[in-house]
Amino acid sequence: MFKKLLLSFVLIVGALLSIALIRTLMHSAPEPTVNVGLTADIDGEAATNNLAASIRFKTISHQDKEKFSPQEFEGFIKWAADTYPEFHSAMQLEMLEYTLLFKWEGSDSSLAPILLTAHYDVVPVIPGTESIWEEEPFAGVISNNRIWGRGALDDKSGVVGMMEAATYLIKNNFQPTRTVYFSFGHDEEIGGGGAAQVTEKLKQEGVQLQWSVDEGGMLVSDNPMIPDQQLAIINVAEKGSVTLDIVANAAGGHSSMPPKNNAVSVLAKAINKLEENPVPGGLQGLSATMFDGISRYFDFPMRMLFANRWLFDEVIDDQLSNITFANAMLRTTTAPTMLSGSIKTNVLPIEAIATVNFRVHPRDTPESVQAYVERIVADEQITVRTRGGEMHLRYHHGKQTVIA
Ligand SMILES: [Zn+2]
């Protein structure tokens, strides 16, 4: 009897292994296709100098709108017009505040236009980090075969790159068949009001785009999963964002005679619960498609896992959850960012607040995330408030007034 059992066990494991092995062998990388024939004789040095020059305009998007410096934005716009005259004369320009919308008329008006977007605003230098910059953030230095500074990657390279490319095409007598719009945003880093205006304008004019491409993705050569390969990441989806306040209430009082249920300790426990209970996730949809593609280049054991998700899905989810960038593709992420409690060293707070930012996976909604959070932190001293929109903010202040 035991022998028979053992034999069937061995047979089953053997069959499973064979299937897994065959599937792994079939899970291979496709033959690379090489496109020959497309060459562009771009003046690399001039393009490099142009990107460096664009970095010298301090087109900073501050959260505090008072700090907005119009001269820097106007300077950048004038510099672009002087540097790329062909681009500017081939296109119609519409200014939406400081966001630039260019239209490059196509020869066939029956075709739906495309929209290429980038932004020329940059985030500020974090106060206190000035000394650790290897090069001045706004000097636009070229050294060590690199262009240094704020915006070199994010995203003046996009703006300058497009103006370079279109200029090259114009000089070579190219005219697009399909109309091309270029939108260069001025406030992407603080919400993208300019982009919203572009959307509104195109909508009003009845423009239905064929497709649009924005910044994002890069060529990675040091991905630990495929160490000797180059990986070009194309972003085709974006997560949403929702921010919640976790609020702990307590009686307050004086720190010389603290009661047990201090609002700060109650809040700490709630944050801990959130950390220990990440929003449920899994490898699905576009993320699954991406891993199906790149896993064909993994080493054998890892390739075996991804070739046999029917068998190893849980192992894969576990492994990926431990890698920061992969975890973000699997689930809605949880990131506590701001804290507030008492305003005085010896006063017990009646209210302690943790602000938590969630990046919402397409399978979740802001409502489902909030419901999940409420369930995890459930406690009679805890409430969860949205910080989402203007309406919620007013409600937020209203409630604070009532408590005060
Ligand atoms: Zn950007």
Neighbours of 268 (CB within 10 A): 15
Catalytic residues: 121, 188
**Distance (Å) from CA 34 to ligand 1 centroid:** 30
By DSSP bridging, strand 351-360 and strand 240-249 are: antiparallel
User: Is the distance from CB of 351 to CB of 249 less than 8 angstroms?
Assistant: yes
**256, HSE (Cβ side, Cα atoms, 13 Å):** 0
Three-state DSSP at 73 gives helix
> Residue 276 pLDDT more than 60?
yes
**Ligand 1 mean position, distance from CA 17 (Å):** 46
SS3 217: coil
pLDDT for residue 399 is more than 90 = no
Query: Does the pLDDT of residue 118 top 50, yes or no?
Result: yes
The percent of residues above 90 in pLDDT, for the chain, comes to 79
Residue 213: helix, strand or coil by DSSP? strand
Gap from CA of 214 to ligand 1 centroid (Å): 9
Question: How many angstroms separate the alpha carbon of residue 155 from the centre of ligand 1?
Answer: 5
Q: The pTM is what?
A: 0.73
Report the C-alpha gap between 345 and 255 in whole angstroms: 8
Residue 224 is predicted with a pLDDT of 77
The whole-angstrom separation of Cα 208 and Cα 112 is 6
Check residue 234 and give its pLDDT: 82
> What spacing in Å lies between the alpha carbon of 227 and ligand 1's midpoint?
26
Q: Which two tokens stand for residue 340?
A: 């507030």
Residue 398 has pLDDT above 50, yes or no: no
Confidence of residue 388 (pLDDT cuts 50, 70, 90): low
Residue 73 corresponds to which tokens in the numbers above? 């934005």
What is the distance between the alpha carbons of residues 296 and 58, in angstroms, rounded to a whole number?
A: 44
CA of residue 156 to ligand 1 center, whole Å: 9
Q: Which of 60-69, 83-92, 393-402 has the highest mean pLDDT?
A: 83-92
Q: Would you give the distance in Å from CA 240 to the centre of its chain?
A: 9
221 — pLDDT class (breaks 50, 70, 90):
confident
Distance 350 CA to ligand 1 centre (A): 40
C-alpha 141/C-alpha 133 separation (Å) is 12
pLDDT of 392: 30
**In this structure, which amino acid lies at residue 104?**
W
Distance (angstroms) between ligand 1 centre and the Cα of 215 equals 6
Q: What is the pLDDT of residues 350-371, one digit of tens each?
A: 999 999 999 999 899 999 999 9
Ligand 1 mean position, distance from CA 23 (Å): 40
Which structural domains are found in the chain, ordered by start? 44-215 (3.40.630.10), 237-280+331-404 (3.30.70.360), 282-330 (no CATH)
